[in-house]
Amino acid sequence: MLFLALRKLCGVSLLLLAASALLPAQSAGIAAAVPDEANLSIEPLNAMEKAVRAGDFKKISSVVILRHGKLAYEVYFDGDAETPRDTRSATKSITGTLVGIALDEHRIASVSAPVLSFFPGRKVQNPDPRKNKMSVEDLLTMSSPLECDDWNEFSRGNEERMYLVEDWAQFFLDLPVYGGMRLPGEPEERPHGRRFSYCTAGIFILSPVLERATGVSADQYAQQKLFSPLGIHSAQWVYTSLDVPQTGGGLRLASRDLAKIAQLYLNGGVWRGQRIVSEDWVKQSIAPQARIDETTEYGYLWWLKSFRSKGGSTYPAFYMSGNGGNKVLGLPSLDMVVVITSTNYNTKGMHEQTEKMLTDYILPAAQPSTDSPPHKSE
């Protein structure tokens, strides 16, 4: 009752009022700080919470912010801190981390390793020399030569067709090479030397690749090498009918645990003094490897984009993204991680609304510290 009375008096979230007393014991291995200590202004965050509760933003389930490595703000509109969140394709970025760890351990020779080398003797339809050369890096950058495009409902490799068959690995490996049309003599535009095509099936195939490379299933490898070191013990995977972990989407993690993944990358691959993935892999993963559009690029299963705050400053970010508008962002210039989870699946404007929460409320709340100045847009 005391907290409720205080909330009515000052309009501050109950979770924030309780932060200094409750968060250190409940933050799942993340140090805690009240917003002021983390250079966060509470007024824009209170306004955001009010807007969500008023229905201005649809089906938002949680917002978690880490600043300078500390849990500085969290609010839950559905469930609580322990509730697993289905952030759909945000899983893909975690899969990229597992590939990086396998490379660090020399379980995978290099990103240039041919995908078909992990499936010796496998017979595939539509054989082609370009398919034989398809590399792990082609999958990590969504630029394989195969005709696979989730953003095209007519694509042979659209993920909805994959879900209808039993053997998803065979589904992907059987796909034909991409064709397409252009005028005679017209060069095909390939920024960074790659043709981006969003393909969930191509990330699923990394599940059996990881299993063949490491000797354990992808979910077991994740728990051993990534989740346990991060203090994550409640990951919920989804599986194919052949009991293969789906590395292309659907992994359920608590919001704080999602934040840990982005914080790991902000830390250059280190968590609480322990090296989990190499710094070189982190740098490669969040560097542009393929171009999506004029404002968005793609690393190794991480999205790359700069976001303009309502105040006019722009901040580069690397982030996981999933159906519903789910976002898990690392903002290096602010030394900040932002998790926005949502169940607003398959709706128009789902990503735009969570980006508006970021640009209109969360970024304006981030007061620059002396060692993390914002980049002013021209």
Q: Last residue of a domain, which of 214, 236, 260?
A: 214
Amino acid identity at 41: S
pLDDT at 18 over 60: no
Per-residue pLDDT, 180: 79
pLDDT of residue 27: 55
Q: 């979230």: which residue's tokens?
A: 13
Per-residue model confidence as pLDDT tens digits over 261-304:
999 999 999 999 999 999 999 999 999 999 999 999 999 999 99
CA angle 293, 283, 318 (to 5 degrees): 45
The residue assigned the tokens 């991409």 is 178
| Rounded distance between C-alpha atoms, residue 55 and residue 52, angstroms | 5
> Is there a domain that residue 162 lies in?
yes
- Lookup: tokens for 307: 């976001």
pLDDT-derived band of residue 9, with 50, 70 and 90 as boundaries?
very low
Q: Is residue 238 part of a domain?
A: no
Find the farthest-apart pair of alpha carbons in the chain and give their distance in angstroms, rounded. 74
> What one-character-per-residue DSSP string does 186-227 give?
PPPP-GGG------HHHHHTHHHHHHHHHSS-HHHHHIIIII
Tally of CA atoms within 13 A in the half-sphere of 156 that contains its CB: 15
What's the pLDDT tens digit per position in 328-343? 999 999 999 999 999 9
184 plus 94 within the same structural domain: yes
Give the C-alpha separation, 129 to 119, whole Å: 16
The answer to whether residue 7 scores a pLDDT higher than 50 is: no
Q: Single out the residue of 21, 19, 32 nearest to residue 67, CA to CA.
A: 32
The reply to whether 59 and 158 lie within a common domain is no
What are 324's two structure tokens?
């519903």
Instruction: Identify whether residues 103 and 189 lie together within a single domain.
Output: yes
For residue 71, what are the domain limits? Answer: 2-86+251-376
Q: What are the E-state strand segments in 184-325?
A: 252-253, 270-271, 274-275, 290-291, 296-298, 303-308, 313-322
Domain edge (last residue) among 191, 214, 237: 214
- Other C-beta atoms closer than 10 Å to the C-beta of 137 total 19
Residue 190 has pLDDT above 90, yes or no: no
CA separation, residue 282 to residues 37, 79, 251, 299 (Å): 28, 32, 21, 10
Chain length of the chain:
378
CA 205, CA 209: separation in Å to the nearest integer?
A: 6
| 111, 209, 241, 312, 358 from 213: Cα distances, Å | 13, 6, 22, 47, 39
What is the Cα–Cα distance from 290 to 271, expressed in whole angstroms?
Answer: 28
In a domain, 283, yes or no: yes
Q: Can you tell me the distance from the alpha carbon of 2 to that of 322, in angstroms, rounded to the nearest whole number?
A: 38
pLDDT band at 369, cuts 50/70/90?
Answer: low
Pairwise pLDDT comparison (19 vs 369), residue with the higher score: 369
Mark whether 305 and 268 lie in a shared domain: yes
By percentage, how much of the chain surpasses pLDDT 90? 83
> pLDDT confidence of 28, banded at 50, 70, 90?
low
The reply to whether 63 and 106 lie within a common domain is no
Same domain for 70 and 21? yes
At 224, the pLDDT band (50, 70, 90 cuts) reads very high
Whether 310 and 351 share a structural domain: yes
Q: Is residue 221 part of a domain?
A: no
pTM for this structure? 0.90
Q: Is the same domain home to 62 and 112?
A: no
| Burial group, residue 175, by CB count within 10 angstroms (0-12, 13-18, 19+) | buried
Residue 239 in any domain: the answer is no
Mark whether 353 and 307 lie in a shared domain.
Answer: yes
Distance, in Å, from the CA atom of 36 to the CA atom of 225, rounded to the nearest integer, reads: 35
Of 214, 237, 265, which closes a domain? 214
CATH of the domain at 101: 3.40.710.10
pLDDT, mean of residues 43-58: 98
In terms of Cα–Cα distance, which of 87, 55, 301 is closest to 199?
A: 301
229 domain-assigned: no
Q: pLDDT of 102-150, one tens digit each?
A: 999 999 999 999 999 999 999 999 999 999 999 999 999 999 999 999 9
Select the more confidently predicted residue: 257 or 179: 257
> In 3-state terms, what secondary structure has residue 107?
coil
In a domain, 263, yes or no: yes
- Does residue 233 belong to any structural domain of this protein? no
Summary mean pLDDT of the chain: 91
Q: Judge if 94 and 210 occupy the same domain.
A: yes
Centre a 10 Å sphere on the Cβ of residue 370 and count the other Cβ atoms it contains. 6
- Give how many domains the chain has, as a whole number: 2
Amino acid sitting at position 315: Y
User: Do 62 and 121 lie in a common domain?
Assistant: no
Based on the domain organization, do 51 and 168 belong to the same domain? no
Tell me: pLDDT of 4 over 80. no
